[in-house]
Chains A and B, each alone.
Chain A
Amino acid sequence: MSGWRWLEGAEGSYSWSFVGRVLAKALALFLLTNLAFAAIDPWPLLGRISLYGHLAPLRPRFPYGEQPDRSYSLSLSDMNALFGSHVIARPKAGDEYRVILIGDSSVWGFLLRPDETLAVALNDLAMTSGDGRQIRAYNLGYPEMSLFKDLLLLDRALAHDPDLIVWLVTLESFAPQRQLAPALVRDNADAVRRLAAQHALDLDLDNAGLAEPDLLGRTIVGRRRALADWLRYQLYGLAWAATGIDQIYPDEIALRASDLQADESWHDFDRPRDFAAGEISFPVLAAGNERAGATPLLVVNEPMFISDGANSDVRYNFWYPRWAYDRYRELLHAEAASAGWNLVDLWDAIAPQEFTDSPVHLTPEGTRQLAELLQPAIRQLAGEAF
């Protein structure tokens, strides 16, 4: 290749001392760059750099997935990259009443196309607030069952000036062992510690495996996985822009089980008994309400699949024994009443045939029905009298 001719000097063009100098300089540069990177820690700033909104359109929901080559999306833990690629990064319009939806995979829209999610269904209702602003919903759901993960996203989302927060919850997200389990939580140790301290949450942070990088971990070498993921995520934006696909849709969906085991266990509870303090994570839900401050927050007990198959007298579905779910609902109503939370309980509001592969994942029609059911509460909180 003619471009290489500069390298093809006579055999004696380079000496060992030249090689030594090059290697020494390369090593010095490598060490200095890594140390400078660790000292300055520009990662939070780098994460803010995004091709989304410039070369690729902003995404309507957060990236999530383990097969990026097929879904053009991947699970990321960097909050700046997540929010920087999301439509919520757009400046809020003057006539916009901003509603953010927080919750698990049912809010995110598992097996639903980007235009079939709850946020889109709510926007299709073309609601307006009491002062005439257009109500616009944003999908900030993330497919992990953890209230603390929701709290983390809520905390970050407040920077985007929401007018209303709608937080969809289900019992599974209240299990204490799930709170710090998601990678999204473990990789955001600073925010986790801050939120736990601010709201006096009794969480075992020291044994949660929080990622708190040391000096080596803050170097380029230490951050290589995060850097590579960030770069891949930016590039997948172009594939996402071309295809509009952000998750894998199987040809056939294995439906949630209707015939159930005669099993009354739920997580660490092998038989029915009351929840003791600390065995169900209401304090995290309370922290979210506190964190929202003056921004109204609507807690929604999300719809779930109710089986009428074998052993449905023992369990509602694959996830929940009846005793645990019934007790959870009682406690949820009691907590909401005593703390003054806005609560809508839609646990049995959607017909069983509208659930897909899990007890909380809805069909597009089920999602549309859920939006209709949420409409009155949202209108009310948005200040429209009717």
Chain B
Amino acid sequence: MTLAHIAAFTGLALVYGLLLPARLRGWAVLAISVIAVYWLQPALPVRYLDFALPTATLLLTTCVWWLTRPAGRGVTRDDGWTLALIGAIVLALALTRNLRADLRLTASRPPDALVVAVVLALIMAALLVVWQALHRLWPGAVLIVMMIALVVLFVVQKAEPLAVATSALLRAQTGQQTNLAALTDLQWLGFSYLAFRLLHTLRDRQTGRLPALSLREYTAYALFFPALTAGPIDRAERFVADYQALSQARGLLPSRLVIGGTRISIGLLKKFVLADSLALFALNPTNAAQTSDAGALWVLLYAYAWRLFLDFSGYTDIAIGLGILFGVRLPENFDRPYLRQNITAFWQSWHMTLSNWVRFYVFSPLSRALLQRRPRPSPLLVVFSAQVVTMLIIGLWHGVTLNFAIWGLWHGLGLFAHKVWSDHTRVQYMRLAGRPRLRMLWHVAGVVMTFHFVALGWVWFALPDTQAALAVFARLFGIGR
């Protein structure tokens, strides 16, 4: 989101809160979210892809809603109106093809509206046929197939060789140069977050935890515009409780304006002043290769660590602030992570909604599955396996590269090491209860060590390849050039 996007959303929030009748609020949130999917999508070099990907976002959302309906729940009139509204917005955006570029909301000139309508109708018909066939043959597999499809899409978009091959294929279809295909060609706005929201609802439908949601509620949840680009990853049942209350709540309350406005202001300061200033000298592949002095490299690394936190938590503040203005309370994502005493506490306060998601859908089921094995493995082995796999998934969520995998492994091993350490030192720590100064020293040492462990981990995150990261590690400790 740029400053212009944030200003426009804030302005809309005021109109929404002060002028819009309560019964229309839910519809307005839906409409703004659907439009934002196109408006926030960056321009892509492959022809029409910056229109096709947002449209795919809507299709996927609708498909997953269809699959996650409780058995026996038909299509209501509300669902029909929602589908009509989404379709109308898509076609209206396609019709802007003949307007001047500065009057369009899409990143580039959209395809012909008639082509869009026909292609969408064909895809939906094909999906319905596939669903019916699958449902008849193997009803229990539909949700699993959808989950696998989402994971495959995720991997294709995040793994460079697959993304480049896909881009080359698309470029060939549009008559563009295939040798220019690149990972960035498939920059799909918010897909990482969308995929995890959809996976959560699919899994919760499997386990019967997901409440019945209308298409409108489901789409508003999956695509809620403040959280589209950088999270947080809300839970459907929590979001929908707020969403359903929109039509009963009073208009824009002064409290909401103060709290939301303050949150947005602080987010703007963190993201656009502090993080963007630190970005001028934060560690990156270019300056890492140019810097040989260990002290200077530490400065660049500290700048990177703080820039990342301020950038991401700033965006979260803006998202939460906008959510508050629109009447939806998004979950918190950060809680002073760099002041945590150990790596476990760090992961309970950094990107909390992602770590909760992975804990809920990976760590806990995996631990349970391992503990149920016969012969029963040692608890330490269970913890080790579950933590490493969980953190590997968090690493690969950022991008399917060796460096992100190593970063995940780094934290998985760190979490395991902390578990072993805390088990062994629990008694000594308890003895510090009557010695506040020593306890404070223990605390400060823990914060400093945790911060440096995390900061050093960012080397894997900031640099594109393992060799460059290893070279930086060596130079940070005065080894090599």
Instruction: List residues of A whose CB falls within 8 A of some B CB.
Output: 1-4, 7-16, 18-19, 22, 68-70, 72, 231-232, 235-236, 238-239, 241-245
- Do B277 and A239 touch across chains, with their CB atoms under 8 A apart? no
- Do B296 and A13 touch across chains, with their CB atoms under 8 A apart? no
- Do B293 and A242 touch across chains, with their CB atoms under 8 A apart? yes
- Do B335 and A2 touch across chains, with their CB atoms under 8 A apart? yes
**Could you say which residues of chain A place their CB within 8 Å of the CB of B335?**
1-3
**Could you say which residues of chain B place their CB within 8 Å of the CB of A1?**
332, 334-336
Can you report 11 A-B residue pairs in the complex whose CB atoms are below 8 A from each other?
Answer: A1-B336, A13-B255, A70-B286, A72-B287, A236-B281, A242-B287, A242-B291, A242-B293, A242-B297, A243-B290, A243-B296
Interface size on B, residues (CB 8 A): 26
**Could you say which residues of chain A place their CB within 8 Å of the CB of B286?**
70
Residue B299 CB within 8 A of the other chain = yes
**Could you say which residues of chain A place their CB within 8 Å of the CB of B293?**
242
**Could you say which residues of chain B place their CB within 8 Å of the CB of A16?**
254
Q: What secondary structure prevails in chain A residues at the interface with B?
A: helix
Q: When the two chains form the complex, which single residue of A7, A9, A238 contacts B281, counting CB atoms closer than 8 Å?
A: A238
- Do B300 and A242 touch across chains, with their CB atoms under 8 A apart? yes
- Do A11 and B253 touch across chains, with their CB atoms under 8 A apart? yes
Residue B280 CB within 8 A of the other chain = yes
Residue B125 CB within 8 A of the other chain = no
Q: Mark B285-328 against chain A: 1 for CB-CB distance below 8 A, else 0.
A: 01100110100110110010000000000000000000000000
Q: When the two chains form the complex, which single residue of B255, B291, B296 contacts A12, counting CB atoms closer than 8 Å?
A: B255
**Could you say which residues of chain B place their CB within 8 Å of the CB of A22?**
258
Q: When the two chains form the complex, which single residue of A13, A235, A241 contacts B277, counting CB atoms closer than 8 Å?
A: A235
Nearest chain B residue, comparing its CB with the CB of A239: B281
CB distance from A324 to the nearest CB of B (A): 42
- Do B336 and A239 touch across chains, with their CB atoms under 8 A apart? no
- Do B280 and A243 touch across chains, with their CB atoms under 8 A apart? no
A4-B263, A9-B255, A14-B258 known; A242-B290 Cβ under 8 A: yes
CA–CA, A192 and B410, complex, Å: 59
CB distance from B262 to the nearest CB of A (A): 6
Which residues B256-297 have CB closer than 8 A to chain A?
257-259, 262-263, 277-278, 280-281, 286-287, 290-291, 293, 296-297
A1-B332, A3-B336, A7-B263 known; A239-B257 Cβ under 8 A: no
Nearest chain B residue, comparing its CB with the CB of A55: B299
A1-B335, A243-B290, A245-B290 known; A238-B255 Cβ under 8 A: no
| Extra pairs beyond A70-B286, A235-B280 (6, CB < 8 Å) | A8-B259, A14-B258, A14-B259, A16-B254, A232-B277, A243-B290
CA–CA, A244 and B291, complex, Å: 8
**Could you say which residues of chain B place their CB within 8 Å of the CB of A241?**
296, 299
**Could you say which residues of chain B place their CB within 8 Å of the CB of A10?**
255
CB distance from B107 to the nearest CB of A (A): 23
CB distance from B293 to the nearest CB of A (A): 7
- Do A232 and B332 touch across chains, with their CB atoms under 8 A apart? no
- Do A242 and B332 touch across chains, with their CB atoms under 8 A apart? no
CA–CA, A2 and B348, complex, Å: 13
**Could you say which residues of chain B place their CB within 8 Å of the CB of A232?**
277, 280
**Could you say which residues of chain A place their CB within 8 Å of the CB of B287?**
72, 239, 242-243
Q: When the two chains form the complex, which single residue of B257, B262, B277, B303 contacts A231, counting CB atoms closer than 8 Å?
A: B277
CA–CA, A239 and B284, complex, Å: 11
5 tightest A-B CB contacts, nearest first: A242-B296, A243-B290, A239-B281, A238-B281, A242-B291
CA–CA, A1 and B332, complex, Å: 6
A1-B334, A235-B280 known; A242-B299 Cβ under 8 A: yes
**Could you say which residues of chain B place their CB within 8 Å of the CB of A238?**
280-281, 299-300, 303
Interface centre among A1, A9, A22, A244 (most CB of B within 10 A): A1
A242-B291, A243-B291 known; A19-B254 Cβ under 8 A: yes
CA–CA, A68 and B277, complex, Å: 13
CA–CA, A57 and B172, complex, Å: 52
CB distance from A377 to the nearest CB of B (A): 37
Nearest chain B residue, comparing its CB with the CB of A12: B255
Q: When the two chains form the complex, which single residue of A11, A235, A245 contacts B255, counting CB atoms closer than 8 Å?
A: A11
